[in-house]
Amino acid sequence: MSDFTALCKELEKAAKLQKPFVVYRKPGASEVRLFIQTDAGLYRFTSEKEAGFIFAPFSKDVAAVFFPREKCELFTSFFERTGQNKASSEKKVDLKDSVNSEQRQQYLDLVDRCLAFMKNSGTKKIVLSRKEEVPVEGLSVLEILGNLLEKYPAALVYIWYHPAVGMWAGATPETLFSLENGKFKTMALAGTQRVQGEKELVWGLKELEEQQIVTDYIKTELQGLISRTAQPKTVRAGQVAHICTQLEGTLTKDFGLLQLINKLHPTPAVCGLPKEAARSFIIEQEGYDRKFYTGFLGEINLSLDSETSAKTHLFVNLRCMELFENKAVLFVGGGITGDSDKEKEWEETVAKSTTMRSILI
């Protein structure tokens, strides 16, 4: 299939019939892929030899949802950006942050508790998050998909749905890892600031140290496997930018796909360091269930007609939202270190929230 309109018709039909589906486009690509599961089964990922699409939560205590390739129809097409917003002008949400002062103060208090805990425990970094609800009336799956494809060419954009789980959408700039023929690539992504036109970005000590923490963690966890570490560079995702370091390596017969997932998820970019101390604080203090926010998603062992070998490409589920009939629940967060300023941390979540809200106009 090469006609994008035909793909949209299949997507619209699947949504109407409440069939499990995922539609997505990888960063920098023009090909859009749509998987529609042919039954309503809720399958779990159990073996690294399986092929399909995985959608995993933040918690390792909850099994990932899996769309097996053999139980899915695949449709592909190409999307050419027009530079225009696809949504109707009558269906807008406010781009400005609408969180009330009480919610703002709750987040500032959370950062205070986090800084005190880090000081007393020696924890280097904890990634805190919050959620906010946005009223949305009458915005269709096709309109959301159009907005994602238009606005975020450098991110993995997706809409995922299962009737037993719900609907999620997002635009994430962060690769967990890609894998082909035993060779993997991953990234350390951290530090955040607003993008202001084409103005050159300058990173402060706090952001540079935060990013180095993530890089050092990955190199330690994958010691003996990493063969190349690139120089840090700035990457943009909508209205915010991050520092990114690419790392490459090779798996061994004793260290395969599942081990790589277990070592990297959750990354310090979404959890913290040391990992267990940070995760415990998040679970005890954040006050809500992250569900699939800061989990991961993507292709497992897929080999399509145009590809010569099976590929795995997983992404960290950042900049995402859970969609309901008349509202969207947005998830945003940021890394807290000993040098963090709580007001700036709040503003960082506002910038990320604005990025997500732009999908809904």
Query: Alpha helices of 152-302 — where are they, by DSSP H?
Result: 205-221, 257-264, 275-285
Q: What is the pLDDT along the chain (361 residues), one digit of tens a residue?
A: 568 999 999 999 999 999 999 999 999 999 999 999 999 999 999 888 899 999 999 998 899 999 999 999 999 999 988 766 544 444 455 555 556 788 899 999 999 999 999 999 999 899 999 999 999 888 899 999 999 999 999 899 999 999 999 999 999 988 999 999 999 999 988 777 878 777 778 898 888 887 888 899 899 999 999 999 999 998 887 677 889 999 999 999 999 999 999 999 998 889 998 999 999 999 999 999 999 999 999 999 998 766 668 899 999 999 899 999 999 999 999 999 888 999 999 998 988 888 788 888 7
Q: Which two tokens stand for residue 298?
A: 């993507």
Sequence-separated (6 or more) residues with CB below 8 Å from residue 152: 171, 237, 238
DSSP label of 252 = B
Q: What is the CATH number of domain 4-81+95-360?
A: 3.60.120.10
Per-domain residue ranges of the chain: 4-81+95-360
Distance CA 244, CA 256 (A): 25
Backbone angles phi, psi at 318, to 5 degrees: -100, 170
Q: Residues near 73 by Cβ (< 8 Å), separated by ≥ 6?
A: 10, 35, 36, 38
User: How far, in Å, CA of 60 to CA of 49, rounded?
Assistant: 20
As a whole number of angstroms, the distance between CA 288 and CA 291 comes to 9
Task: Tell me the C-alpha distance between 157 and 37, whole Å.
Answer: 19
Are 251 and 244 within 8 A, CB to CB? no
Joined tokens for residue 330: 């947005």
